[in-house]
Structure 1
Amino acid sequence: MSAKTINITYWVLTILLALAMAGDGFGGVTKQQTGIDVLHHLGYPIYFMVIVGTAKLLGVIAILQNKYKTVKEWAYAGFSFTLFGAIASRAFAGDAIIEFIPPIIMLVFLFAAYYFWKKFNQLKSTEL
């Protein structure tokens, strides 16, 4: 796979991930009713929406930049914890399998974007 293909794949996956997380983060910060209903169902306090929503918005900024690699690594880790937490919360709440699909899909996008970011950085370092 060429460096150009890896770079394009990375950015497409990253932008899709960023859009999803930004939308979810914005919904949390603005306390959208759908999020409130889900948090009540899962047993979390409403203020948790604002905390996680703010973290998601900051994480979006972190994964879209390429200057601070450690910050980007932490953002990927934070998104991983959030998505695994969403899956676990749904499982503990006894939700149907269909409710697991959105966070699993986002986790696949996250892992793929991370993989291609690492792959592209590896190719860049061998070209130097």
Structure 2
Amino acid sequence: MNSQKTSYYIVLGLFSAAVIGSIINSIINYDEIALVFVKLGYPTYLIYILGLFQSIGILLILLNRPHWSLEWTYAGFFMNYFLGAIAHLAIKDGNGASAVVCIILLFVTYVQSKKMSDMKTEVRFLERPEYS
């Protein structure tokens, strides 16, 4: 269990660093990001919306409270990175490798999170057996 927790926190740290770096990059290099969004055919106001929801999403993932919103957070990040990679491939503006790496980190974080919550449930069940 300790090695599983360690790997979870390492991958979560890498994913968090990527998301926070993306948010900071959008703030610092707004003009370059806006040009890329225009080139991709997206409106530039999406930069603010993506930054806001990525901030909220990374907070929800870091808190790791089992709730329906956590599932939607993982789904939202997946769709963001998947569609971003597809958009970059469609206009031949790079290969979207950073988005693919983020998808892999997101998937590993999701699976490890599920395994850890299942282990917590098993431990709780074993600590308090129900007698009939």
TM superposition score category, shorter chain reference:
0.7 to 0.9
TM-score, normalised with respect to structure 1: 0.86
Q: Distance in 2 between matches of 1:127 and 1:68?
A: 16
Is the 8 Å Cα contact of residues 29 and 54 (structure 1) preserved in structure 2?
no
RMSD: 1.7
Q: Which residue matches 1:10?
A: 8
Q: C-alpha offsets along residues 60-104 of structure 1, whole Å, 9 cap, x if unaligned?
A: 1010002353222211111001001101111221334xx321100
Number of positions where the alignment pairs a residue of Structure 1 with one of Structure 2:
124
Select the structure of larger CA radius of gyration: 2
Task: Tell me the residue number matched to 2:128.
Answer: none
| 1:37-48 correspondence runs (5 A) | 37-48=35-46
Identical amino acids, percent of aligned pairs: 24
Does the 8 A contact of 1:26 with 1:57 survive in 2?
Answer: no
SS at match of 1:94: coil
Q: In structure 1, what is the Cα distance between the partners aligned to 2:39 and 2:104?
A: 25
SS of residue matched to 1:60: helix
Q: Determine the structure 2 residue equivalent to 1:35.
A: 33
Instruction: Give the TM-score of the pair, scaled to structure 2.
Output: 0.84
| 1:21 corresponding residue in structure 2 | 19
1:63/1:18 CA distance change after superposition, 3 Å: same
The answer on whether the counterparts of 1:10 and 1:113 sit within 8 Å (CA) in structure 2 is yes
Distance 2:27 2:48 in 1: 4
Q: CA–CA distance in 2 between the matches of 1:44 and 1:67?
A: 33
Q: 1:83, 1:21 → 2: CA distance?
A: 11
Task: Verify: 1:107 aligned to 2:103, yes or no.
Answer: yes
Q: Deviations over 1:7-58 (max 9, x none)?
A: 1111111121112112212333566233122212211111111111111111
- After TM superposition, the runs of 4+ consecutive aligned structure 1 residues lying more than 3 A away are 26-31
- The aligned counterpart of 1:93 is 91
